[in-house]
Amino acid sequence: MNQHPAQAPNKPQPMLPPKDNHVHVWLMFHDKLPVPQQLSPSTLLSKQEQMRQQRFATPELRYRFQCRREMLRRSLTLYRPDIRESDWIFSQNEYGKPQIHNTQSQNQLYFNLSHTSGLTVLAISKIEECGIDIENTTVRKPNSYLDIADRFFTEPESAQIKHGSAHEQIQRFFDFWTLKEAYIKAVGKGLSLGLDRFQFVIKPDTPIAIEFPAPAIDQANTWAFHQETIGKDMRLAIALRAHPSVPISCEFLQYRV
């Protein structure tokens, strides 16, 4: 990442929602979270969120889920101070994409969450079709990931991944994987789309482009993408329904409990 993330002030200040192709990316590093002696019920989570929390198998996983939901609620209230952290209402589209209730988003405040080992990221945008993905690229069995590319990616993508050393191949796999995940999450239709129904063109010093083999399921000239590495081994991608001639501008903010 080319810049150090800004840190949220000790006393949170109201923030204006991002404009146009600008995206706020909140980062929550898991090693910075306080370690509770005992997990107490959150006063911010809804009953539905509390029920989801209890489905996780271990206290650590339940705690991480609670932190993610509190992060979302507290961050959103920075943009809408008139809504208390505990009062946010969430729904899902027909494919399960989480979203803010229309009465609260007012068609200008949208979010997307992603998490991996060590890090949770939250994208805030004024554009509804915004998706973010974060992946830890340190993996134990790289060949299994390359098999995924052979089975589910397009032939040009799979062929591009196989160039270079084993390390370069797994890094290139996550270049494509995070972009695909970000696009799927932005569209909000889940894996029903099929990972081979679209492909990415990644070239040095050239904006990332998306292509749709016939029969096309979308328009390539309505999407912009951003990708970079957080730290040493976290690969991040953002997809935004916007004209690709205007690059996505990201502001990174560090969330603190």
Per-residue pLDDT reduced to its tens digit, 160-208: 999 889 899 999 999 999 999 999 999 998 878 899 999 999 998 899 9
227 DSSP β-pair partners: 237
pLDDT of residue 1: 54
Residue whose entry in the numeric block shows the structure tokens 């953002």: 238
Whole-angstrom distance, CA of residue 88 vs CA of residue 67: 16
Residue whose entry in the numeric block shows the structure tokens 């706020």: 24
* This prediction's pTM: 0.92
Whole-angstrom distance, CA of residue 95 vs CA of residue 131: 14
Token representation of residue 224: 């912009």
Structural domains of the chain ordered from first start:
6-254 (3.90.470.20)
Higher pLDDT, 190 or 152: 152
Give the closest residue to 250 by CA, choosing from 123, 136, 134: 123
- Chain CA centroid to CA 188, Å: 12
Average pLDDT of 137-143? 86
pLDDT of residue 107: 81
The model's confidence at residue 256, banded by pLDDT at 50, 70 and 90, is confident
CA quadruple 254, 237, 1, 251: dihedral positive or negative? negative
Lowest-confidence region among 57-61, 175-179, 180-184, 222-226: 57-61
The model's confidence at residue 143, banded by pLDDT at 50, 70 and 90, is confident
Whole-angstrom distance, CA of residue 200 vs CA of residue 152: 13
The three-point CA angle 42-47-52 to 5° equals 85
CB 223 within 8 Å of CB 241: yes
Whole-angstrom distance, CA of residue 198 vs CA of residue 250: 24
